[in-house]
Structure 1
Amino acid sequence: MNRRADLGAFLRSRRARIRPEDAGIRGFGERRRVPGLRREEVAQLAGVSADYYTRFEQGRAENASDAIVDAVARALRLDAVETGHLHRLVRAGGGPLPTPVQQVRPGLRRLMDSMPHTPAYVVGRRTDVLAWNAPMAAMMIDFAALPPERLNKAWLVFCHEELRSRFVDREAKARDIVGYLRLDLGRHPGDPAYPALIGELSDASPEFRRLWEQQEIREKTHGSYHLRHPAVGEFTVAYESLTLPGDSDQTLVTYTAEEGSPSQAALHVLAELAELAELAERPLAPAVPGPGVS
């Protein structure tokens, strides 16, 4: 992606959402051609010149200090996640970088397999689905049946109807995944795989295109989703996202339900279905002859 274009689009979107009166700026009834704050008003709030802020928004202030970036963030009322994203956009530079192949450690796979009633998966850069356990496949979809290039959470959320149908509030899930993907793009601005994915999703999904243009940023560390499954009906799960030591680009996501709740019972049923499916796929062991049988 183009760093300057991304930075400018992000800052313009944040200017547009702040009403001048909320920032203590009096317009005396004047008509404004654009919503939100003007560049010179952001400059005033940040304590820099209007010319400097214009160059900053255009991506021509690569040597801006952390203090100036933080001042702009305060002027635009950015939260902690958005402020971090702004710092990454300002500092990003260089050309396309090679995309290393992500590998999931065998021990991590064993850890997920040791949780028979807890759906879990590992997500990597670009929301690629790197590994999962049987309960996760039972709760969502059969990931193993997908071609490798389709093992991507963003693509599944927007282009795979079976997985989309799992979320009762599809709009909320769609916003979450777009916000996280944009945040992840800010962490890897030189990776050419991101614009390829974003271009594909924009062509395939008007919904994705609409949400992407809104410039929202989201860090998903924990929360809950209301799901729907043909085998158990509707239920609610809480998720925890844990960044893995040794590879900050990999995140282990687990799903649980409140102890003794109908949702926990639903997870147990799905886990049992997953176990039965695994047993059905295992080859039968050869019969062992009994005593005296030759």
Structure 2
Amino acid sequence: MTTVAPESDVRRHELADFLRSRRERITPEQVGLVRGRRRRTPGLRREEVAQLSAVGVTWYTWLEQAREIQVSPQVLDALARALLMDAGERAHLFALAGSLDPAPHTLCPTVTPAVRAMLDQLDPIPASVQNSRYDILAYNATFGRLLNDLDRLPPEDRNALWLAFTDADWQAAVVDLPEAQRTMAAKFRASMAEHLAEPAWKALVARLESASPEFREVWARHEVIGQGGKTKYIRNAHVGLLYLEHVNLWLGPAAGPRLVTYVPVDEETRSRLVRLHALSPTAV
């Protein structure tokens, strides 16, 4: 006689396997964590997912062990965000849990092959994809040489706010650096209001406060500014002064990832961007 497992058991095991597979594909750098030297686990550790989702380690471990525990929609939402699930994965997660998604149209900050192709097609216009924490998730060849050499940096340092306060090359390229730093910190604080409990955000603030007296001074002002574009000058080390219009195009909700472009305002800048692109080792 064959025994058929109850549907609830099957769902719990499918949910456990799905969470494990998503956890193992995410690198620490993608979520603002430092890899460290002694890492044998592929992707994230269970305790890291628990930390990013603001849940208990034991509770999350039980979830991956398919134990019979209750999972709220809010916790599922936090797990989907922590594991950078796209819309399809998020819908699958809630379906396995038998729960209604409180924000079914929420998009996570993933960079698809199509977005990467679009970045390349925009060359020589500098373009990148950044999230509201200023992490630079992807960029084209010209953007990679615009303010500094991004390719030389480890992934955990590819954050525009971090670079604006700590990287000498980036700072040298920014005309009116104090104003740029003040504006970026104020935009970051405004965005952080929706992420106050998330460890990756708090870790970035702590890292900046430890590394930069300028950041500590600006951060203490508690200024807030909404996201928006403006014209600005950038002093590029290879081709000289560039006059650019900074444009944000959101790829999802206003608090989500955005396409950041620097459009040349005049023909001289356009010509210099073509030269800058030609200097990139990845230029065709």
Q: Report the equivalent of 2:155.
A: 148
User: Would you say 1:120 and 2:124 are equivalent positions?
Assistant: no
SS of 2:257's equivalent in the other structure is: strand
Q: Quote how far apart the aligned CAs of 1:235 are.
A: 2.1
Q: TM-score, normalised by structure 2?
A: 0.60
Give, as a single letter, the amino acid of the residue that structure 2 aligns with 1:157. Answer: A
Q: Is the 8 A contact 1:221 1:242 kept in 2?
A: no
- Within 5 A, what are the aligned runs for 1:1-294? 99-101=82-84, 102-245=109-252, 248-260=255-267, 262-274=268-280, 277-278=281-282
CA offset at residue 247 of structure 1?
8.3
Conserved 8 A contact 1:223-1:238: yes
Higher gyration radius (CA)? 1
Q: Kindly tell me: are residues 248 and 215 of structure 1, through their superposed partners in 2, closer, same or farther at Cα, counting changes over 3 Å?
A: closer
Which digits, 9 at most, give the CA deviation of each residue in 1:90-111, with x for residues without a partner? xxx99xx553334211111101
Give the C-alpha shift of residue 252 in structure 1.
0.5
Unmatched runs of 5 consecutive residues or more in structure 2:
1-73, 85-108
1:192, CA displacement in angstroms? 1.6
Unaligned stretches of 5+ in structure 1? 1-92, 283-294
Q: 2:171 is aligned with what amino acid?
A: R
Rounded Cα–Cα distance in structure 1 between residues aligned with 2:266 and 2:243: 12
Q: RMSD across aligned C-alpha pairs, in angstroms?
A: 2.2
Distance in 2 between residues matched to 1:208 and 1:100, nearest whole Å? 29
Distance (Å, rounded) in 1 between the aligned partners of 2:131 and 2:252: 13
Aligned to 2:98: none
CA deviations 1:103-130 (Å, max 9, x no partner) are: 2111111011011221000111421110
Q: TM-score, normalised by structure 1?
A: 0.58
Runs of 4+ deviating beyond 4 Å: none
CA distance in 1, matches of 2:190, 2:153: 26
1:176–1:220 contact (8 Å) kept in structure 2: no
190 and 221 in structure 1: CA distance in 2 versus 1, 3 angstrom threshold: same
* Structure 2 SS opposite 1:130: strand
Aligned partner letter, 2:282: E
Q: 1:132-174 CA distances to partner (integer Å, 9 max, x unpaired)?
A: 0001012122222211211111111111111111102101110
